[in-house]
Structure 1
Amino acid sequence: MNSPLRVLVLWFPDWPLRAALGSPPPHPPTALVQANTIVACTASAREHGVRTGQRRRVAQGHLSSLRVLPHDPDRDERAFLPVLHLIEKHAPGVTLLRPGLAIVRARGISRYHGGEAEAAEALTTVLAEAGLPEVRIGVADGPFTAEIAARGPTPCTVVPPGGSREFLAPYPVQVLRDEQIAGLLVRLGVRTLGEFTALAPLDVRDRFGEHGARLHALAAGADSRALTPRPPDPELVRDIEFDSPLAGADQVAFAVRQTADAVMLALGDASVVCTEVRIDLTDDNGVVFSRAWLHPTCFDASDLVDRVRWQLEALAAQSAKEPVDEARAFGGIMAVRIVPAAVDDAAHHQPGLFGSGTDERLHHAVSRVQTMLGHQGVVTAAVAGGRWLADRQVLTPWGERTVPPRDPESPWPGSLPDPLPAEVFRPPRPIGVLSADETTITIDERGALSSDPARIDGAAVQAWAGPWPIHERRWSSGGGKRGHRLQIVDDRDRAWLVFHTGERWWAEGRYR
């Protein structure tokens, strides 16, 4: 059995509820239901006897005011992706176990922060600042023990190396998550993991088989499930080295054309296509700049060359914007490495009997325009959650996967209901909202206007509604962002969405 690795597990309690409600705990009594069965419930609901696995009618019998929402596993995963990206920035190599539970090897991050407890504290601080204060972290030998530690009463629990058996001993056998074996052990009088590990391994194997032996090893802290991220297939990786550094993006792009063709030939021989690629650029100082690129369908050779060019252009722009010391200044490129990070069966991407469809022709046309304008020249829009219109717009470069940073399906108290303005000003533009005597209208602490609006943007006001207060992130040190919204129609048949904050009025959007 493999010796377990020291790992760090991050657990976000009641994540399906967090994804559904869009706010950190505590939550009002709420439960998620799937197939008329409770699959998740808030701590406030558990206080009244609601439990996972109960029938919906039984749960509502315990608490008649229980709020019931449908469970959406895809929503859980979508909401957790931005959290994974945030963890990845501070702890490279994070692996998703399931939405709300992530794992990373403890060695690298603990060395950087000077210890495992220090690393866990640093991650807790970063996540709390990002609005995720409920995170619990466990550090132990192997994922099983670390997950149990993360579910402890303290924000961070570190199990010393070799101490897994003693740590796990008092826990009930139900934490093994095997109802059949756990029920049989309880009927035999074995109620804790310590009592289970006291049984002879051979007797356990004879009675419960290989699966029981595996659970017996877990209970003893000998977690054999090593954390081994899947490396890219080395037969698909291609690289090129240059005799002298190349400085221009066009020079490098021209030089890697044959390398891109070699990658496509290797993919063809394996009967697969590439849907995600990692490009490593090594400069003349030996510094490696890596970036992962996604594709809505699959890459071809010209797509790979374009990604190399775009990555170089972005790197040059960043270097010009944020200059560093001469010893580490970005210079020429000495080597390019193309790594297919995700592949798919080529049969899933074969063209139709009568040629390619509309989506593929559209992709080629848009990619062509993107090649001429640059990576950020063509973007796709998606709707995210938020209270301000500008926060709900997510623009992603064409070809990359759009992951809204905030779930639009979650409740956003104070957000604007439909219909939404057709034109959104980003950033909001200053505008004048005046009274009949040409003075700027103000709003007091109770949300009352100093006078009725008479003019806006040089036009007479025909009708208006509001104001509606909006105040978010009140717990932040600066008091968050607050204001009052107003809808105004002028005599030019223009409908405005404006808000007042501080001493000024701003136009947030305009209806067409």
Structure 2
Amino acid sequence: MRPGAPVRSLVLWFPDWPVTALARERAQPLDAGPAIAVMEHNTVVACSAAARAEGVRRGQRRRDAQALCPGLAVVAADPMRDQREFAPLVAVVEERAPGVQILRPGMCALRIRGPARYYGGEVEAARVLLTALRKGGGEGATGAEGGVEGVRAGIADGPFTAEQAARIGTGVADPVFVVPNGGAAGFLAPLSVATLIDASAAVGSGAELVDLLARLGVRTLGQFAEMDPDRVRERFGDRGVRLHSLAAGQDSREVEPRVPPPELHREVAFEPALEMAEQVAFGIRIAADEFVARLGAAGLVCTELRVELRGDRGERSERVWLHPGSFDAASVVDRVRWQLSEAAKEPEGKSVLSSGVSLVRIAPEAVDEASHHVAAIFGSGPEERLHHALSRVQAMLGHRGVLTPAIGGGRWLAERQVLVPWGDRAVLAKERSRPWPGSLPDPLPATVFPDPVPVQVASPAGAPVDIDARGRITAPPAMFLEGGRRMAIDAWAGPWPILERGWDAARARRAHRVQIIDAEGMAWLLVCEDGAWVAEARYD
């Protein structure tokens, strides 16, 4: 083979991979769920077959997609999820044909010469890989170990042409398409120059160049390939020459096999399944020691830990745990026990794992260099002692036994007061940085009641005080009744309106805040809503 000549390549394409990755993470079949669209920057990047049947297409704006399919379930794009769910499938391919290059999650390439000689031909090799991917981890496997349907395979000279063969030449009936040796230029010729944008992993960003070609009347790859290379270089530079060679079927890129990452995860299967959390925790102690030792041998420590629990009836509980420093074996065992005892329960209290635990899998979600976590010669002082003390208390009391405060967003003080378990990252339901019209400015009250305290406010004549539809107080507040105590009001200020979701009649909320100072000098923050008064907070 002459230097720089295209290498026969096989590209495996997983259509709509972001949607497939989401279904695999949720351990549910694609055809059983609602219409789903994965969005990035309010643009559809992938959609399910049910959404496509309603007219949703890749590249649509969010409002257009929802207009076509009002019941569309919108999910944010998650590159980490796509990569995490794609890695086990790449491992399945590597078991039968080593030397795989991940072009992007949902698409990989490899040289076809070796597998073709071993399996008796290019098409035979592709079908062996498709069968392996369809079976996945075998019968009964779910999630990351389950198989995947609908994978397409393209074989051609160079990864770029093989990718187009997988996208354009394959179908449900025949998922393998082969472009004959030397036929890449003829296969690519009728394709639109916009193909150079779609194959962004191969050619980079070429939107400006493709737009210019279209304005020059160059519509197809064949027309672009017929242009003189010297003129292309003069007009478009080196990037244009690169795109020109791809359009002519002269993709000289080598497939760059990835170096498989070290196996850092650990799994423990229980037969028969264990019912008690302490039994499971005891059963994974050796695995936790091996997990930390493997990381240490690679010069790494785990800062985020993924724990996956599987029930004897196929249930699954998965969670990522954080650590203020790095995980040791004892803290790994604690997280497994906590997840079994409380994190594996739904909000209504129903256990996710309704049967015994049959498998525990621990894997590093994020790692760091061990050198960054080496203790100083004289220790880290009060910070290190504080961490050890709080970690020991948390190990005895449970995951939510030690909480640290964080400030969230929202109009109500109870929403802004967020308590986070020690070591966890604060996950805010409402972002603090967003504008919240009607929220209380600084200085904020020192005591915020988790549940507002019912109170009564009366006028000098003893009549109840209310706030009308125009936001005006009906009478000056004079008496304040709270918890059986009746006190005079020395000063008051307000009211200030709080308006929420005025466009939604079912969830709309309208209330007013009033500040008062009672006869004992205590300041209160009151809320009047629909004629009822509550104390939201107190200025201690």
Same fold (TM over 0.5): yes
Number of the residue aligned with 1:467: 495
Q: 1:314 aligns with which of 319, 342, 351?
A: 342
Counterparts of 2:341 and 2:398, CA distance in 1: 8
C-alpha spacing 1:393/1:203, structure 2 compared with 1 (3 Å): farther
Listed as ranges, the matches of 1:13-32 within 5 Å are none
Find out whether 1:213 has 2:242 as its counterpart: yes
Deviates more, 1:267-276 or 1:427-436: 427-436
Which secondary structure does the structure 1 equivalent of 2:360 belong to? Answer: strand
Counterpart residue type for residue 110 of structure 1: S
1:264 matches 2:292: yes
DSSP 3-state at the match of 1:396: strand
How many residues are paired up? Answer: 400
Q: Is residue 110 of structure 1 aligned with residue 48 of structure 2?
A: yes
Aligned to 1:352: 376
Gaps of at least 5 residues in structure 1 are 11-84, 137-141, 145-160
Q: SS at 1:266's partner residue?
A: helix
* 2:15 equivalent to 1:6: yes
Give the drift of 1:483: 0.4
Bigger Cα displacement from structure 2, 402-411 vs 248-257: 402-411
Relative contact order, higher structure (CA 8 A, sep 6+): 1
Q: Which moved more, 1:414-423 or 1:294-303?
A: 294-303
Query: In the aligned structure 2, how far is the partner of 1:277 from the partner of 1:231?
Result: 23
Question: Residue type of the partner of 2:474?
Answer: S
Change (3 A) 1:290 1:301: same
CA distance in 1, matches of 2:273, 2:443: 55
Q: Which amino acid aligns with 1:361?
A: R
Deviations 1:436-456 (A, max 9, x none): 222221111111111100111
Q: 1:485 aligns with which of 482, 501, 513?
A: 513
Distance 1:189 1:340, change over 3 A: closer
Aligned to 2:276: 248
> Could you say if the C-alpha distance between residues 346 and 476 of structure 1 is closer, same or farther in structure 2, counting changes exceeding 3 Å?
same
CA distance in 2, matches of 1:341, 1:308: 15
Mapped contact 1:256–1:305 kept (Cα < 8 A): yes
Unpaired stretches in structure 2, ≥5 consecutive residues: 1-8, 30-37, 78-102, 106-166, 170-187
Change (3 A) 1:331 1:262: same
Q: Which sits farther off after the overlay, 200-209 or 469-478? A: 200-209
- With over 3 angstroms needed to count, the CA separation of the structure-2 counterparts of 1:189 and 1:479, relative to structure 1, is closer
| SS across alignment from 2:490 | strand
Displacement of 1:270: 0.5
Structure 2 vs 1, CA of residues 193 and 268 (structure 1 numbering), >3 Å: closer, same or farther?
A: farther
Q: Deviations over 1:103-153 (max 9, x none)?
A: 87x5xx7257685856989x9769x99xx99999xxxxx999xxxxxxxxx
How far did 1:403 drift? 3.3
Q: Contact (CA 8 Å) 2:16, 2:48: kept in 1 or not?
A: no
Alignment correspondent of 1:200: 225
| Separation in 2, partners of 1:319, 1:181 | 48
Q: Which amino acid aligns with 1:200?
A: A
Supply the distance in 1 between the matched residues of 2:208 and 2:366 (Cα, whole angstroms): 41
Length-normalised TM-score, structure 1 = 0.64
Distance in 2 separating the partners of 1:215 and 1:364: 61
2:410 partner amino acid: G
Does the Cα contact within 8 Å between 1:351 and 1:357 map onto a contact in 2? Answer: no
Q: Check 1:453–1:188 CA distance in 2 against 1; reply closer, same or farther (3 A cut).
A: closer
CA distance in 2, matches of 1:111, 1:180: 28
The question of 1:363 aligning with 2:406 is answered: no
Task: Provide the rounded CA distance (Å) in 2 between the counterparts of 1:133 and 1:289.
Answer: 23
Alpha-carbon distance in structure 2 between the residues aligned to 1:409 and 1:397: 22
Q: Hey, what's the Cα distance between the residues in 1 that align with 2:500 and 2:196?
A: 42
Aligned pairs for 1:56-71 within 5 A: none
User: Equivalent residue for 1:330?
Assistant: 354
CA distance in structure 2 between the aligned counterparts of 1:438 and 1:218, rounded to whole angstroms: 87
Report if aligned partners of 2:303, 2:323 keep a CA contact under 8 Å in 1.
Answer: yes
SS in 2 for 1:414: coil
8 Å Cα contact 2:196-2:210 kept in structure 1: no
Q: Which deviates the most, 275-284 or 354-363?
A: 354-363
What aligned pairs does 1:287-298 form with structure 2 within 5 A after superposition? 287-298=315-326
Say if 1:133 and 1:251 are closer, same or farther in 2 by CA, change over 3 A.
Answer: closer
Matches within 5 A, 1:49-198: 100=41, 106=46, 110=48, 117=55, 162=168, 194=219, 198=223
In the TM superposition, residue 3 of structure 1 has moved relative to its aligned partner by 5.7
Bigger Cα displacement from structure 2, 499-508 vs 409-418: 409-418
RMSD: 5.2
CA distance in 1, matches of 2:210, 2:269: 61
Deviations 1:307-340 (A, max 9, x none): 000011026654993279xxxx712222211111
Q: Label 1:363 to 1:239 Cα distance change in 2 as closer, same or farther (>3 A).
A: same
SS at match of 1:410: coil
Whether the aligned pair in 2 keeps the contact of 1:170 and 1:192 (CA below 8 Å) is: no
Relative distance call for 1:3 and 1:257 in structure 2 (3 A) is closer
Q: Can you list the C-alpha shifts for 1:153-193, whole angstroms capped at 9, x where unaligned? A: xxxxxxxx649x999758999x98x9998778888895588
Counterpart selection for 1:451 from 455, 470, 475: 475
What does residue 440 of structure 1 align with? 464
Q: Are residues 216 and 386 of structure 1, via their aligned partners in 2, closer, same or farther at CA, if it must alter by over 3 Å?
A: farther
Q: CA deviation at 1:100?
A: 3.8
- Does residue 406 of the first structure (1) align with residue 406 of the second (2)? no
CA distance in 2, matches of 1:476, 1:366: 44
Between the aligned residues of both structures, percent identity stands at 40
1:158 maps to what in 2? none
Cα distance change of structure 1 residues 192 and 468 upon mapping to structure 2, 3 Å threshold: farther
2:449 corresponds in structure 1 to 425
Q: Distance in 1 between matches of 2:206 and 2:260?
A: 38
